[in-house]
Amino acid sequence: MPVHNADIAAVFEEIAELLEIQSANPFRIRAYRNASRTLAEFGRDLATLLRKGEELPKIAGIGDDLARKIHEIVETGTCALLERLHKELPPAVTELLKVPGLGPKRVRALYDELHIQDLKALEQAAERRQIQRLHGFGEKTERRILAALRAHKEKKRRFKRSLAAQYAEAIAAELRRVKGVVKVDIAGSYRRCQATVGDIDILVTAPSSDGVMRRFTNYDEVAEILAQGHTRATVVLRSGLQVDLRVIARPGYGAALTYFTGSKSHNIALRKRAQGRGLKLNEYGVFRGSSPIAGESEESVYAALDLPWIPPELREDRGELEWAERAALPELVERSELRGDLHCHTKASDGHASVSEMAVAARARGHRYLAITEHSQRLKISRGLTVERLLKHMDEIDRLNERLKGITLLKGIEVDILEDGALDLPDDILGQLDLVVGAVHSHFDLPPARQTRRLMKAMAHPHFSLLAHPTARDLDKRPSMDADWLRVIRHARERGCFLELNSQPVRLDLPDTWCRVAKEEGVKVAINSDAHSIEDLDDLAWGISEARRGWLSAEDVLNTCGIRDLRRLLKATM
DNA sequence: GCCGTTTTCGGCCCGACTGTTTTCAGTCG
């Protein structure tokens, strides 16, 4: 079985959890946890590297011991330490840690006292009222465990950012109306523009917290109040979305916003940096001893640590502090820099507007060009175009271009990439188009090697321009396809073709981490709406957010070019 | 277990809230 970085990361995470339950040295635990996280996001596949006989690259947080264990895991799929821990503690106990309210200490107590080692045994013990009798537990804790187990069965869902926005903005607006409130910000992963969010963090600046707390907990969408204190409260809305509120006084606003924007690991990195300068950073400010030296704005916080302000989208502890220190952070792409859109549909296939309606709407949004890219014949459910219908459609676009002012329509197609990597229309037809957008709509779960070959074969086609929604992920129901994405990206560079970042809120595909790899590999990314209606043209905003999270600048984005440069770049692919 | 313009040893991020306590440990973000 091939071992991926994610598998190595999983072994380290499990070791961390088991050590935690054993009350091992917390810093040793942290070392495994940090390593797990680093590896999960590491760009190059370590197993492949080692198999080629290459040295393990120097990775921060991986020392001699963990490097040895990586070798071991790559070779055997597991490691001796994990096996030993499994002998001391049943593997399933780690799932108990996922129950809210249960940490390592309580899991240990449950195992030692009641021999509970999985969720089922936990539920039975709670139902029999055995848990409340344990030292350090009580009736309330037991009830909470039962409730959490029930919620677990329903599975806590993550919300697409576009959906969370509707709930979050409404509650923020409500809090802005409370008397005395100075400022309301939505922080957390929402502000960092993550594709999905697990909960919402709202930060309120107000001289007194009472009115805000009252309005928050009485908000009519609140289904349950999980916690409520003087400065913090947590509720669950009827939609299932959890919302955390923090109220702070004015002076430390910037420090609080930084703190509650996260990410957690970015915060930790910042605090370490503060510490290295003899300072202390917390949500109230930057302190030398007990005197505050910064915190009124985010800029002041970063400046106190000798850093420029870092855009929220980059705050993931993916090297942004080092790049900021060298003043080398990218100038992130903005919506206003897009000159056009290279993927949309009309009534001719499964869209809702006519070609001319889409053109006029795109022009009104400042676009200088719009590629019309209907589905191809195989996708019958979307009324994909046959050769005959496509030829007719191309005529219509030509005629429209003659009378349209201020925008150019490009003739394209979203052609299906078939299971074997062939394209769903004949070469001579594809050759008559301005661009060929290839897309996978079937066979998402081929073995990775076959999936990779399929994509590379499609991209090698002489008329191929752009790979649409490359990983085919659906944030509500389907993970990214398994393929060797680094190879696919490098193949795009060799072929001179491009990758799409599809802006539909449910896709946001190419995902941020691969955007960054594409940038590093010199492959331009097209940020497209894949609009099926006029309103969908505005989805580009979501795509821009994902692109910014992927460190993309205007120069890394294909459709920031003017039409002449765009045609030249597309020509090179044909 | 990692790491070093204070250190190869001795550090390693910080505070609020809850429940079970009777002054605080455990958990969470």
- For chain A, what are the domain ranges? 5-154, 159-248, 262-325, 335-573
Q: CA-to-CA distance for A202 and A243, rounded, in angstroms? A: 7
Position A215 confidence tier, pLDDT thresholds 50, 70, 90: very high
DSSP class of residue A474 equals B
Report the top-level CATH class of A159-248. alpha beta
Positions of strand B less than 7 angstroms from a protein CB: 1-3, 6, 11-21, 25-29
What was the pLDDT predicted at A146?
A: 85
What was the pLDDT predicted at A480?
A: 87
Per-residue CA distances from A283 to A95, A206, A274, A516 (Å)? 32, 15, 13, 30
Query: Which residue minimizes Cα–C1' distance to B25?
Result: A136
Can you say whether the dihedral through the CA atoms of A521, A523, A524, A530 is positive or negative?
negative
pTM over 0.85: no
| CATH code of the domain occupying A262-325 | 3.30.210.10
Nucleotide with the nearest C1' to A227 CA: B17
Q: CA of A468 and C1' of B2: distance in angstroms? A: 42
What was the pLDDT predicted at A270?
A: 94
Residue A176 CB lies within 7 Å of the nucleic strand B: no
Residue A292 CB lies within 7 Å of the nucleic strand B: no
What was the pLDDT predicted at A459?
A: 95
Q: Which tops the pLDDT comparison, A154 or A4?
A: A4
Put the strands of the sheet holding A242-248 in their side by side order: A183-186, A199-205, A242-248, A232-237, A222-228
A192-211 burial, b at 16+ Cβ within 10 Å, e below that, comes to bbbbbbebbbbbbbbeebeb
Q: CA-to-CA distance for A73 and A7, rounded, in angstroms? A: 9
Question: What tens digit of pLDDT does each residue of A241-279 get?
Answer: 899 999 988 778 899 999 999 999 899 999 999 998 999
Which class for A447: exposed (0-12), middle (13-18), buried (19 or more C-beta within 10 A)? exposed
Residues 56-85 of A with CB under 7 A from strand B: 60-67, 81
Q: CA-to-CA distance for A376 and A389, rounded, in angstroms? A: 10
Q: CA-to-CA distance for A107 and A117, rounded, in angstroms? A: 8
Q: CA of A401 and C1' of B17: distance in angstroms? A: 64
What was the pLDDT predicted at A147?
A: 81
Residue A101 CB lies within 7 Å of the nucleic strand B: yes
Residues 351-380 of A with CB under 7 A from strand B: none
What was the pLDDT predicted at A159?
A: 87
Q: CA-to-CA distance for A189 and A212, rounded, in angstroms? A: 22
What was the pLDDT predicted at A573?
A: 66
Same fold, A159-248 and A262-325: no
Report the top-level CATH class of A335-573. alpha beta
| Mean pLDDT value across residues A112-136 | 88
CA within 13 Å, CB half, A358:
33
Per-residue CA distances from A112 to A106, A120, A561 (Å)? 10, 16, 65
Question: Which tokens go with A376?
Answer: 């191809």
Query: Comparing A88-97, A202-211, A436-445, A489-498, which segment has the lowest mean pLDDT?
Result: A88-97
Q: CA-to-CA distance for A183 and A205, rounded, in angstroms? A: 5
What was the pLDDT predicted at A574?
A: 54
Residue A232 CB lies within 7 Å of the nucleic strand B: yes
Query: Which residue minimizes Cα–C1' distance to B4?
Result: A276
What was the pLDDT predicted at A223?
A: 87
The structural architecture, per CATH, of the domain A5-154 is Orthogonal Bundle (1.10)
Nucleotide with the nearest C1' to A287 CA: B14
